[in-house]
Amino acid sequence: MSLILEAREKRAQHIEELMREFKYKTIIILKSNVPGADKNPNRLKFICNLYDSFIRKEFKLKITTKAKVGSADGNYVYYVVEEEGNIVKEKTILIEEANVLGKLVDIDVYNEVSITRSQLECEMRKCLICDNYSHVCVRNQTHTQEELFAKIDEITQNYLVNLILNKTIKCIYCELDLYPKFGLVSSHDCGAHSDMDFQMFVNSTFAIKPYLKEFILYGLNGAENPKKLQEIGIKAEEAMFKVTNNVNTQKGLIFILGIFLPVMSKAIRNNLGQTFIKREIIKISELIIGDYYENITSKPNKSHGDEVYLKYNIKGIRGEVLNGLKMVFDIPSYRDRPQEYMHLEYLIHLMSLLDDTTIVHRTNFETLQSVKNKMSEIVKAGGYTNNIALISNLSNEYIGKNISPGGSADMLVVKMIYEEMKYLLR
């Protein structure tokens, strides 16, 4: 406890120094509000990452200085903001009250002195568990630490499940809405497909949504049984085939999300980074795929992917997960582009690199090589942004040639989810 008290005094001194150094500016201090002796539990560190994003979004260019400071009383981030203190405090109160996780952070504001809720005639913060005011419950020790941590685990898990699931569904629809799409189904047309359309993909996405949630929960709960992931994936495929009249709209996507979503969820929950994600994807993939390729020749009913592997030694999506989905992390973020352009840049870049078994199955190996070479040329020439007319014509050409980069589309969804969620990682 003495370390925590010392850390509090040190933070108070630091705040005094910041107010002297930035005398006519406002200081924001963001830290987690966690009971118990451990003020920096890994499973709650994502909350400060989340609220850091909220503060940066709210104040944007008004933030002139920002830094993170380690502390035994809870790591904190300070921001120097060029805005009047009372206005900053009003805005941070709204940020705190926007969702239930706001009760797990403290966002303090200083402008020569501390600016409090009571000074602005705002209601004091409520307790995490009951309707009483938080400071009253703390003073009276109304709730045990076990009760508090049980409630914290409940609300953080519920929040993360909904956040990751909603981001995943959003990315699936963003991929579906892209255009031009080189023969893939979109909201504009059916591309090179005569057996599926936009509405079928909408129906399919709705059908598999509960199972995507199960994948996320698997990761958040730290489960260690890949067989369970296979069971969830099989149920997702059955739900998909039921609403599509046995048309395969998203089987590859179910497979790849069945590995990526649990790992991404686990990484966010435990404050782990990209290195962990890649390593964990490889580990789970090896357990799930096992000796699949050693026994493939004896399979009585070979899939299109099996035939491609036997003829060209291309493993498709299975090969990508066995490689830790390296492409997802290696290709650029393209954050400087408008959102629709950014997603098309991802798709083009992925098509330039991926040995897409869907293209080989629908055409041949030579066509795959031609597509990869053409996309590589486009990437080098500035991507979609600098080649809009060329890409539109090329997309129509691919429809006529029965080309459809389904594997690249699945990888695109994963890339989009990762880019949407990586700010929560270490």
Whether residues 259 and 175 fall in one domain: yes
306-340 per-position pLDDT tens digit = 999 999 999 999 999 999 999 999 999 998 888 78
Domain end, chosen from 111, 143, 175, is at: 143
Whether residues 366 and 400 fall in one domain: yes
- Which phi-psi region, left, alpha or beta, contains residue 324 (left: φ > 0; alpha: ψ -120 to 50)? left
Q: What total number of domains does the chain contain?
A: 2
> What pTM value is reported for the model?
0.93
Whether residues 314 and 332 fall in one domain: yes
Q: What DSSP assignment string belongs to 82-147?
A: SS-HHHHHHHHHHHHHSSGGGGGEEEEEEESEEE-TGGGTPPPPBPSSSSSBHHHHHHHT-S-HHH
CB 360 within 8 A of CB 414: no
Whether residues 208 and 301 fall in one domain: yes
Whether residues 117 and 171 fall in one domain: no
157-203 per-position pLDDT tens digit = 999 999 999 999 999 999 999 999 999 999 999 999 999 999 999 99
Whether residues 77 and 221 fall in one domain: no
204-237 per-position pLDDT tens digit = 999 999 999 999 999 999 989 999 999 999 999 9
Res. 1: pLDDT tops 80: no
pLDDT band at 117 (very low <50, low <70, confident <90, very high): confident
Full domain range(s) for residue 342: 151-424
Q: What is the CATH number of the domain that holds 25?
A: 3.30.70.260
Q: Mean pLDDT, to the nearest integer, of 106-110?
A: 96
Res. 358: pLDDT tops 80: yes
pLDDT given for residue 69 in this prediction = 97
Structure tokens at 296: 């493939």
Rounded distance, CA 153 to CA 159, Å? 10
Whether residues 106 and 231 fall in one domain: no
Whether residues 20 and 75 fall in one domain: yes
Q: Which of 134-138, 297-301, 395-399 has the highest mean pLDDT?
A: 395-399
Q: What is the CATH number of the domain that holds 388?
A: 1.10.4200.10
How far lies 264's CA from each of 154, 279, 285, in Å? Answer: 19, 12, 14
Whether residues 288 and 358 fall in one domain: yes
Whether residues 306 and 337 fall in one domain: yes
Q: Mean pLDDT, to the nearest integer, of 1-12?
A: 91
Whether residues 258 and 287 fall in one domain: yes
Domain end, chosen from 143, 164, 199, is at: 143
Domain end, chosen from 84, 118, 143, is at: 143
The residue ranking higher by pLDDT, 125 or 237, is: 237
The dihedral through the CA atoms of 263, 269, 274, 279 has a sign that is negative
The residue ranking higher by pLDDT, 378 or 35, is: 378
Whether residues 156 and 138 fall in one domain: no
